[in-house]
Amino acid sequence: MQIRLTGLTAAAIGAGSLFPAAAGAQTLNLSIDIPRLRVAEYHKPYVAVWLEKQSATPHTLSVWYDVDKRGGEGTKWLRDIRQWWRTSGRGMTFPADGVSGATRAPGTQKLQLVAGRGAMPRLTPGEYTLVVEAAREVGGREMVRIPFSWNGKAASGTRAGSTELGTVTFTLKR
Amino acid sequence: MYLRKPLIAAAAVAAIAAPAALAHRMWLLPSSTTLSGTDNWVTVDAAVSNDLFYFDHQPLRAVPAVTQPDGSEGKVENHSVGRYRATFDVHLTQQGTYRVAVVNQGVFGSYKLNGETKMLPRGTTTATLAVAIPAGATDVQTSESFARNEIFVTQGAPTGTVFKPTGKGLELVPVTHPNDLVAGEAATFQFLLNGKPGANLYVTAIPGGSRYRDALKQMDLRTDAQGKVSVTWPEPGMYWLNVTPNAPRIDGEGPGAGGARSPGAGQRPAGSTGGAMPRGPRVSYTTTLEVLAP
């Protein structure tokens, strides 16, 4: 787990008013395959994970980028995760507690988010889309969208990317 | 061409001051329009050319004015004028939308003195016009221009301070922010002419990269009664957008040909010098817009 979860501050950011609090510890388990690419120059992709709900402000869950670059220089290329940047990122300040994380290597990357902690809001029942977008330096960019209904109990979904992302799978339970 | 023959030569020399009336297009091309982080630089190419956006004709020599997101004046750095283009940098240290603008105001024209036709000197403005025309001059012909060419660049989330209208010439008021454009989506802009909604303005949008295709892919649009125009961007890329009250003159009608005139042409702003003035003010607005892929 490379995501920094720093308790209260993060919870303040995470608990958006657009996702009103509901009882129960909802847990999102997310698995993202980052493909191993045979290219001359490889850089681990910048990845953003966010939730969309109809007529609600999109909510960023996690962003992987060069967090440790001097002088916050890693933020310069966040705009290349272009749909996320337009949808949510450009209104945020970086590093963002509970959201910012280092880039991850090719392979299956796991992420567990618990509602009310870090960037994970408590979800009210409704129609959602989980979105994962990856942009790679000197490489391509791809977005995978997984729509789902949240009934308050359980939801899951899988979609596969074709270039910059492999299979993205999630389960959401309370 | 609204200008009579003798003026064409003068206008060709003063290309930067009369972009709208000439075939050449004046443009500012930023290295980025959408930026993340807190400390970025944007470099801009500034040129006058036919093909968009290829610098192969004349540089746009004027040093632009930078307005920062908080409304204060910014700085143009490393300004350099080359044979075909000028370049300069803008250091972005604030969050929000910056404006980089070149505004050209001037009067072109000629008069007769002692039977000889003389051109108004370059750089003549409405303020200096009375001095520029000597006593005893006859057949005074002038044509005013107010050309605004500006671009917008946003670091972080887009803001609106730089769009506060000045009430002079043509100005853009965003309905859609010019740094929030995506291919396939419609964007709406409002244009003001001297501070009031500019109805029935001619809006031209041309995608860049014209050297490598046969069709210009020009979109010809008009503003509605509120001065609004909606553009749906067919593909991502840089677009040159030009707005003017004057109907495009059809080539071959000849200099000074009557033809159809837009309602705006021929109307002269109050306070302008009287006399034999057959031309309406040449007002234009030009911007370069970056449209991102969805």
If you average pLDDT over residues A26-30, what whole number do you get? 96
> How many C-beta neighbours within 10 Å does residue B38 have?
18
Task: Give the range of the structural domain holding residue B117, as residue numbers without chain letter.
Answer: 5-291
User: Is residue A16 one of the residues assigned to a domain?
Assistant: yes
Interchain contact B93–A (C-beta under 8 A):
no
User: Is residue A122 one of the residues assigned to a domain?
Assistant: yes
- B20 or B130, which is more confident: B130
* Per-residue pLDDT at B106: 87
Q: Is the ipTM reported for this complex over the cut 0.95?
A: no
Residue B23's pLDDT band (cuts 50, 70, 90): low
* Per-residue pLDDT at B108: 86
Q: Which residues contact B131 (CB under 8 A, 6 or more apart)?
A: none
What is the C-alpha to C-alpha distance for residues B225 and B31, in angstroms, rounded to an integer?
35
First and final CA of chain A: distance in angstroms?
21
User: Is residue A68 one of the residues assigned to a domain?
Assistant: yes
Q: How many domains does chain B have?
A: 1
CB contacts, 8 Å: B93 with chain A: none
Task: Give the nearest partner residue to A86 out of B37, B39, B180, using CB atoms.
Answer: B180
Residue B130's pLDDT band (cuts 50, 70, 90): confident
Backbone angles phi, psi at A4, to 5 degrees: -85, 115
DSSP state for residue B230 in the 8-state scheme: E
B76-124 pLDDT per residue, tens:
999 999 999 999 999 999 999 999 999 998 888 889 998 899 998 888 8
Interchain contact A72–B (C-beta under 8 A):
yes
H or E element at residue B290: strand B282-291
- B202 or B270, which is more confident: B202
Q: How many domains does chain A have?
A: 1
| Of B239, B244, B266, the residue nearest B170 (C-alpha) | B244
> In this complex, do B36 and A76 lie within 8 Å of one another by their Cβ atoms?
yes
Task: Give the range of the structural domain holding residue A28, as residue numbers without chain letter.
Answer: 7-173
User: Is residue A1 one of the residues assigned to a domain?
Assistant: no
What is the C-alpha to C-alpha distance for residues A110 and A32, in angstroms, rounded to an integer?
6
A106-155 pLDDT per residue, tens:
999 999 999 988 899 999 999 999 999 999 999 999 999 999 999 999 99
Q: Is the pLDDT confidence value at B259 over 90?
A: no
Task: Give the nearest partner residue to A90 out of B39, B157, B293, using CB atoms.
Answer: B157
Interchain contact B274–A (C-beta under 8 A):
no
Percent of chain A with pLDDT over 90: 80
* Per-residue pLDDT at B127: 82
